[in-house]
Structure 1
């Protein structure tokens, strides 16, 4: 195990391995998005509606199984769930690759989505890292997901141009097998800690969190963000094709726009953190996304306009994708972060499914412009909804192992009272079964060493 100052080699290797496994799986899910509308027209039953269903249907099984898979990993261990999830993903990829109809491909995508391993991966990261390094491990995983999306927008079109649609699915099957090899050879064996409330959901907290208006704003926000993403990629590849950009060259537009968007969001992330302008910048990003969608609708036939629209879209999307989990971490009650994240992730995948179906229906009835304009209306609704969001500050969460006997109720209550009296502590929760204290603190004034001395008296 690491010391308290930084990663040990074991923690670093495990964190990057888990990030790579998670990233490869997301890469496999995302690669189909920019290409299916272009290369799926030879499949039996092809239609705009089925384009949307195929792109988004993985989200339905992800939404249904995300939390149960995390619970299962608490019971039987993390690695078995990860192996099983990757095997299901590989099976779904093979089914989709060998299918000659959109219905078979949709079944393959359902199987891909059923390999819901996010909860198990995050829980394993928590098992094998010291609490003070856990945030770093989660950040590495989060960055890898963002990178996988960017790679998918480029690699998907390139693979499809050389090997066709089936080649993309065969590539995702290979990625799954590589992931299983990485689990076997590169992940250290760890002592399974059971439920850790920072990363896994606690059933008894659902009712409370589903009544929290601030958290619900974030849940609806991530749902609308991914609804928009899948709906856009039902229509945008066909819009580029109609504008005269050949399918095999679509990555020429995606790559520079994505790279520029990553550069553009950096100063805004820094500004939001240093000036406490998170809410203002977040609302501005929703407006930027709405403008980008209107440009997509009105710029039909003009590649330059569509390129600018995609730059604005990617910039706003990446900023919100990075900001929403941070907001959730700050707003979730002490000891409820894992449950809040489970509800949030379920909302995200449900949004992906709804966006695919909605985008397919709208394109079938109203064309690409109709998709973009109605999704822009969803952004207007989101802006209204997010306007009531709390302007989050430098709130941080900590999990501290307790070095004293807390089985005695009076001793536990006394310790809880003392923790709450510490400067900067906003919430405190002691879970005797875990031998841990969950703290939600103001990072500007809270002193971690002071809390450690108190709980280890």
Structure 2
């Protein structure tokens, strides 16, 4: 009974950690108008602050995998959650963009440590369809955090000042840390702790799967990041912004679980292609037709149904004994692209003189997921 409770307790704690991750990541986007007024930021600067949360992944993800092999998964995740809390406090105490950015880097490094280990922890405990379903829960928890951020952070900033939103992110990380430490139990069939690099074939497959995740999130993050500024610039009331972000985030978890079920019935290729095209269409459509409620609903439901498939591909591209380092490689690839894409899309918005430029750039980048996906599939079959 203790093992069952511990395994699902760990899942619940990691789910809460993913909610905290999304809540923290969205903070700059949610506070975009407030921070722009307070510090005179343009879209490119805001995009840079958004991307700073991703930058630590370039340097931290692979070392986290090796460190976990030496000291264990539990300590790496706990340290990561503590860093997420500390970084949010640092941003809350900042007096300018540099201080906010420093806190974002620290929090981002902690989020990397937690994220790198989640797939490995789940794959040590579950296999088959149960693994697919539970990874869908973890992936779907992240946008719930983004949705909570969009609903709550502006209100906190209005009532108590913008630092209150960062303090709320600290509290979320501390709650996740406490629940994780309280429920952790070792995996019954954990891989041995070694320090070997995965073989070239596994490394290549993991890198390509990381590129798929990067392309997927080009649309995902930039839609959520620039939508508040778009709605403000086009004169939409606050209730529209709240509704759009609710549609765009809260529907993700059931959509991802639905995607897993559809993949079992119709095959992952069809689900992936349909999800990618719908995702790009909903983001690009936001730039063409001023119908944010429609695009938010499409984006938050069917357009996100393939997200869990990508994480499953990345996790299973490496053998169990190589999975900690393999996920480090996966997220290093992702963060290399993810750190620069918000600034790139922000630059597109500046050139267009409107956030619609960011939407068009993000939609185009997201379509790169298709060739990367089929490259991975063909290579995996050829090398099997």
CA drift at 1:288: 1.4
Contact 2:132 2:308 in 1 (8 A): no
* Deviation per residue, 1:214-270 (Å, 9 max, x gap): x54422111112233333344221111123223465222222454556555655532
Q: Relative to structure 1, is the Cα distance of residues 219 and 52 closer, same or farther in structure 2, using a 3 angstrom cutoff?
A: same
Give the structure 2 partner of residue 287 of structure 1: 277
Residue 239 (str. 1) matches residue 233 (str. 2): no
Q: Relative to structure 1, is the Cα distance of residues 191 and 153 closer, same or farther in structure 2, using a 3 angstrom cutoff?
A: closer
Higher RCO (Cα < 8 Å, 6 or more apart) = 2
Contact 2:286 2:292 in 1 (8 A): yes
Give the structure 1 partner of residue 287 of structure 2: 297
CA drift at 1:56: 1.7
Give the structure 2 partner of residue 359 of structure 1: 345
Q: What are the ranges of 5 or more consecutive residues in structure 2 without an aligned counterpart?
A: none
Q: Relative to structure 1, is the Cα distance of residues 13 and 318 closer, same or farther in structure 2, using a 3 angstrom cutoff?
A: same
Q: Relative to structure 1, is the Cα distance of residues 206 and 282 closer, same or farther in structure 2, using a 3 angstrom cutoff?
A: same
Secondary structure at the counterpart of residue 377 of structure 2: coil
Distance 2:121 2:377 in 1: 32
Residue 156 (str. 1) matches residue 150 (str. 2): yes
Match of residue 8, structure 1, among 4, 18, 23 = 4
Contact 2:256 2:308 in 1 (8 A): no
* Deviation per residue, 1:122-181 (Å, 9 max, x gap): 55667xx7x557985785465144124124223433232233431110001112222333
Distance 1:124 1:290 in 2: 31
Contact 1:228 1:355 in 2 (8 A): no
* Deviation per residue, 1:189-208 (Å, 9 max, x gap): x4999x827xx896432533
Give the structure 1 partner of residue 67 of structure 2: 72
What TM-score do the two structures reach when normalised by structure 1?
Answer: 0.71
Q: What are the ranges of 5 or more consecutive residues in structure 1 without an aligned counterpart?
A: 396-425, 428-457
Distance 1:149 1:74 in 2: 29
What TM-score do the two structures reach when normalised by structure 2?
Answer: 0.83
Distance 1:16 1:80 in 2: 17
Distance 1:132 1:230 in 2: 29
Bigger Cα displacement from structure 2, 306-315 vs 201-210: 201-210
Secondary structure at the counterpart of residue 27 of structure 2: coil
Residue 376 (str. 1) matches residue 363 (str. 2): yes
**When you count strand as a share of all residues, which structure comes out higher?**
1
Mapping for residues 152-231 of structure 1, pairs under 5 Å: 152-163=146-157, 164-188=161-185, 190=186, 196=191, 203-205=196-198, 207-212=200-205, 215-231=206-222
Q: Relative to structure 1, is the Cα distance of residues 108 and 269 closer, same or farther in structure 2, using a 3 angstrom cutoff?
A: same
Give the structure 2 partner of residue 409 of structure 1: none
Distance 1:39 1:148 in 2: 24
Contact 1:283 1:386 in 2 (8 A): no
CA drift at 1:51: 0.7
Give the structure 2 partner of residue 108 of structure 1: 103
Q: Relative to structure 1, is the Cα distance of residues 205 and 35 closer, same or farther in structure 2, using a 3 angstrom cutoff?
A: same
**When you count helix as a share of all residues, which structure comes out higher?**
2
Contact 1:48 1:360 in 2 (8 A): yes
Q: Relative to structure 1, is the Cα distance of residues 207 and 281 closer, same or farther in structure 2, using a 3 angstrom cutoff?
A: same
Matched positions, count: 377
Distance 1:329 1:108 in 2: 29
Distance 1:49 1:267 in 2: 36
Q: Relative to structure 1, is the Cα distance of residues 268 and 392 closer, same or farther in structure 2, using a 3 angstrom cutoff?
A: farther
Mapping for residues 67-146 of structure 1, pairs under 5 Å: 67-115=62-110, 116-120=113-117, 131=125, 136=130, 139-140=133-134, 142-146=136-140
Distance 1:210 1:286 in 2: 24
Give the structure 2 partner of residue 252 of structure 1: 243
Distance 1:15 1:282 in 2: 25
Bigger Cα displacement from structure 2, 131-140 vs 47-56: 131-140
Larger Rg: 1
Give the structure 2 partner of residue 147 of structure 1: 141
